[in-house]
Amino acid sequence: MIGETRRRRAQSKAATFDKGVQSEVDRDESDEPLPPLSPQDASSYILGMSAELRRLADESGFRFLAYLLEMVFQEAFRLSGESGTAGSGGRISKKLSSDPRSAS
């Protein structure tokens, strides 16, 4: 009975949180459409943004999030390299300590 009450409270909190997050997402999506971008411009933009977000996540102690953003960065780097837009700022960043492949 106690477990049932806790589960209902957790579900209620999760539902409230999900509705709040969803309304924020809906608002952001309906503001303005994205301008048309070439694949090269899109990959370059994602490359820069993911590098900044990875650094923020890493410095904030969000190791797994930083790892995921590193994967985004590397894929954007690969795509921008294929399209010939990887500039001097587009370099593979150092492996994070949370990278499972770096554990030896």
User: 16-25: per-residue pLDDT in tens?
Assistant: 555 555 555 5
Q: What is the per-residue pLDDT across 29-74, written as a single tens digit (0 to 9) for each?
A: 557 787 898 999 999 999 999 999 999 999 999 999 999 999 999 9
In sequence order, the 6+-apart residues with CB closer than 8 A to the CB of 73 are 47, 50, 51, 54, 92, 93
In sequence order, the 6+-apart residues with CB closer than 8 A to the CB of 1 are none
State both tokens at 69.
Answer: 């953003």
Helical ranges in the chain per DSSP H: 2-31, 39-59, 63-82
pLDDT category at 90 given cuts 50, 70, 90 is: very low
What pTM did the predictor assign? 0.52
pLDDT category at 83 given cuts 50, 70, 90 is: low
